[in-house]
A and B are shown apart, each in its own frame.
Chain A
Amino acid sequence: MLTAEAPLSTPVRAEILALAAQEPHPRGASVAALRLVQARLGWISTVHLREVADLLGMSVDDLDGIATYFNLLFRRPVGRHVVMLCDSVSCWIMGREPLCAHMCRTLGIRPGETTADNAITLLPTVCIGHCDHAPAMLVDGTLHGDVDTATLDRLIDTLRDTP
């Protein structure tokens, strides 16, 4: 089983090497490799960061510089579901602040935190290009628009019941 502490499986290592082989220099695959690890494990642990750095021939700090640079790469564990509520200007005008406050109250967490049952992590995101349906959010990567408190309440119930 894949876990944050166990080494990457042989197929994942092979996939990373294949990504690296497509690039003029292996480091060109760094974002793709980190995304791959995150897609399998939810986040990028230091154990896995070291392993990917080794596969790409990069120093660990060099690769961590990339991993910590991008908004969508997680260097800390997240819950089973990740809700990213847009905090850019059109969504702000259309009332994302009260929605975020509602979500925080309902879940008992602040933005950036995960619920105690590990079901939901709430994060802000920059503009997700759904401004004509603001306020907008990404739930496990899927776009939702015209979000209101009723949508959020239904969503929270669904996510808590979904593995």
Chain B
Amino acid sequence: MTPPTERPLTAMIDPAAGPPDCAAYERAGGWQATRRALGDLAPAEIIDMVTRSKLRGRGGAGFGTGQKWSFVPKEPAAERHKYLIANADEMEPGTFKDRLLLEGNPLQLIEGMILAAYGVQAGHGIIFLRGEYGLACSRLHHAIGEARQQGWLGENILGSGFGFDIHVHSSAGRYICGEETALLTALEGRRATPRSKPPFPQTGGLWGAPSVVNNVETLCNLPHIITNGPEWFAGLGLGEDGGTKIYGVSGRVAKPGAWELPIGTPLRQIIEEHAGGMRPGHQLRALLPGGASTAFLDATALDVAMDYGSVEKAGSRLGTGMAIILDDRTCPIGMIRNLEHFFAQESCGWCTPCRDGLPWVERLLDAIEDGSGQEEDMDQLARHARMLGAPGRTFCAHAPGAMAPLASGLKLFAADFAAHIQQRRCPHKSGA
């Protein structure tokens, strides 16, 4: 057996060689977890192991995976129609970790889905894949076909009596589909508006059936937890959380990229060691630690450990763990305007504060960046940040997520906002 490695998620990923086939996957330690689970473990034991591993959702919200599963009705898969859905609708700006996993080792996701499905006793699997991920789509179809042919998917897997198969749903491009209830609505062939909870998906999800929606990276951890044990997994993290995490950095750094590191690795280490620090002639001004919907942190926060609790204490969220760097030569107001354009465009339009508020914010930022902003625009922005930012005033977390970079940006870049309004131009644009 392969000894536990510090980089379980990416150990088999070799972009030059392409993804492993079933045989190569098995030689490198794959399928052991499925043999063990279906041969020796009861579904409840899988849920217990995942709970003890301290695995939390890697899609952004960070909910405990074992806990999420614990709410699913316990009937065996053969007795009750249930769904296990992989959320592969990776659309958070600045985030490219799931694409790496989908393209690099699709069988790892398939095995993770088999294990999750066995744990919650779901017979029906769906991969909700964003429409833009064409290469991932063809590799998933190929891997599913091969796994089916070799008996890893289908009826009575390994003679266990448990049956499970996977369908790939290619979506057509809408950020809100990453929200789990909107994702279910989209699968039912409707405009992807989020649903009110309760009922929670675990009891009343897709077509009314119990459903679990887990992020791709979350699911890819499962084979390693079952093979090497929950204590091993929990021990991989540097702080409170278990496992490794795929971290990434984009922006004007020397070597943008993604790396699998122990969860809780300090932000400074990720940026300075792995991303090679800033490009010559650029200084780090601030950053979004985990995608577009996380609050800005400034350069004084670089020593924060990148785990759920520590980033929250620092005033932001771990989110997807993919940091976007703002350098000193890029206009922070221009950056926030770009972010709010995205959120305004991607609002599903269902509830009024989000549908009408986000375009208003975008227009105010347009005016300020273009030199026609007024003092009172700042009050209006602050009011939106307050009204839309608080949870509970909108149907889902889209608007609060959109307000995270704005509210933090209004504080961090107050002098930049003032300069734009006073000088009636963007000071970062030369010759204006």
User: Which residues of A pack against B, CB within 8 Å?
Assistant: 22-32, 34-35, 56, 58, 65-66, 69-73, 87-90, 92-94, 125-134, 138, 141-143
Query: 0/1 per residue, B179-203, Cβ < 8 Å to A?
Result: 0000000111111100000000000
- Can you offer 6 A-B residue contacts whose CB atoms are under 8 A? A24-B207, A25-B207, A90-B251, A127-B92, A128-B132, A129-B95
Residue of A23, A25, A32, A129 most packed against chain B (CB within 10 A): A129
Query: 0/1 per residue, B303-339, Cβ < 8 Å to A?
Result: 0000000000000000000101111001000110011
Partner of B190, one of A32, A66, A125: A66
A89-B338, A90-B94, A131-B96 as given contacts; A69 in contact with B191, CB under 8 Å: yes
User: Which residues of B pack against A, CB within 8 Å?
Assistant: 90-96, 98-99, 131-135, 167, 169-175, 186-192, 207, 248-252, 256-258, 288, 292, 322, 324-327, 330, 334-335, 338-339, 341-342, 345-346
Nearest 10 pairs between A and B by C-beta? A70-B172, A27-B189, A71-B173, A131-B250, A132-B256, A88-B93, A129-B96, A72-B173, A90-B250, A30-B189
A90-B250, A90-B251, A143-B135 as given contacts; A131 in contact with B191, CB under 8 Å: no
Partner of B172, one of A31, A93, A126, A133: A31
Chain B contacts for A141, CB-based, 8 A: 132, 134
Judge whether B94 and A89 touch: CB under 8 Å: yes
Chain A contacts for B252, CB-based, 8 A: 93-94
Chain B contacts for A73, CB-based, 8 A: 172-173
How far, in angstroms, from A16 to B163 measured CA to CA in the complex?
27
Partner of A129, one of B133, B172, B189, B256: B133
How far, in angstroms, from A43 to B383 measured CA to CA in the complex?
42
Judge whether A127 and B172 touch: CB under 8 Å: no
Judge whether A88 and B292 touch: CB under 8 Å: yes
Question: Would you give the shortest CB distance from B75 to chain A, in whole angstroms?
Answer: 18
* Number of A-B contacts defined by CB within 8 Å: 140
Residue of B91, B94, B251, B288 most packed against chain A (CB within 10 A): B94
Judge whether A132 and B257 touch: CB under 8 Å: yes
Judge whether A134 and B250 touch: CB under 8 Å: yes
Judge whether B132 and A72 touch: CB under 8 Å: yes
Residue of B131, B248, B257 most packed against chain A (CB within 10 A): B131
Residue of B98, B191, B288 most packed against chain A (CB within 10 A): B191
Question: Would you give the shortest CB distance from B25 to chain A, in whole angstroms?
Answer: 23
Classify the secondary structure of B's interface with A.
mixed
Chain B contacts for A92, CB-based, 8 A: 334-335, 338
How far, in angstroms, from A60 to B150 measured CA to CA in the complex?
43
Judge whether A132 and B170 touch: CB under 8 Å: no
How far, in angstroms, from A143 to B15 measured CA to CA in the complex?
15
How far, in angstroms, from A32 to B250 measured CA to CA in the complex?
33
Judge whether B94 and A126 touch: CB under 8 Å: no
Judge whether A89 and B292 touch: CB under 8 Å: yes
Judge whether A65 and B94 touch: CB under 8 Å: no
Given contact pairs A129-B132, A134-B250, a sample of 5 additional A-B residue pairs in the complex whose CB atoms are under 8 Å apart: A25-B207, A29-B189, A69-B191, A93-B324, A131-B95
Question: Would you give the shortest CB distance from A5 to chain B, in whole angstroms?
Answer: 23
Chain A contacts for B134, CB-based, 8 A: 141-143
Judge whether B132 and A131 touch: CB under 8 Å: no
Partner of B342, one of A30, A31, A70, A89: A89
Judge whether B256 and A134 touch: CB under 8 Å: yes
Judge whether B330 and A93 touch: CB under 8 Å: yes
How far, in angstroms, from A127 to B288 measured CA to CA in the complex?
15
How far, in angstroms, from A134 to B192 measured CA to CA in the complex?
29
Chain A contacts for B192, CB-based, 8 A: 69
Query: CB-nearest residue of chain A relative to B92?
Result: A127
Question: Would you give the shortest CB distance from A21 to chain B, in whole angstroms?
Answer: 13
Question: Would you give the shortest CB distance from B206 to chain A, in whole angstroms?
Answer: 8
Judge whether B207 and A27 touch: CB under 8 Å: no
Residue of B135, B172, B345, B346 most packed against chain A (CB within 10 A): B172
A34-B172, A93-B252 as given contacts; A27 in contact with B95, CB under 8 Å: no
Residue of A65, A73, A88 most packed against chain B (CB within 10 A): A88
How far, in angstroms, from A42 to B292 measured CA to CA in the complex?
32
Chain B contacts for A94, CB-based, 8 A: 250-252
Residue of A69, A130, A142 most packed against chain B (CB within 10 A): A69
Judge whether A31 and B171 touch: CB under 8 Å: yes
Chain A contacts for B258, CB-based, 8 A: 132
How far, in angstroms, from A128 to B173 measured CA to CA in the complex?
10
Question: Would you give the shortest CB distance from B153 to chain A, in whole angstroms?
Answer: 16
Judge whether A25 and B188 touch: CB under 8 Å: yes
A69-B191, A70-B171 as given contacts; A93 in contact with B135, CB under 8 Å: no
How far, in angstroms, from A92 to B346 measured CA to CA in the complex?
17
Question: Would you give the shortest CB distance from A92 to chain B, in whole angstroms?
Answer: 4
Chain A contacts for B324, CB-based, 8 A: 89-90, 93, 131
Question: Would you give the shortest CB distance from A41 to chain B, in whole angstroms?
Answer: 15
Question: Would you give the shortest CB distance from A124 to chain B, in whole angstroms?
Answer: 9
Partner of B335, one of A25, A89, A128: A89
Query: CB-nearest residue of chain B relative to A28?
Result: B189
Question: Would you give the shortest CB distance from A64 to chain B, in whole angstroms?
Answer: 11
Question: Would you give the shortest CB distance from B127 to chain A, in whole angstroms?
Answer: 13
Chain B contacts for A22, CB-based, 8 A: 167
Question: Would you give the shortest CB distance from A74 to chain B, in whole angstroms?
Answer: 10
Judge whether B95 and A66 touch: CB under 8 Å: no
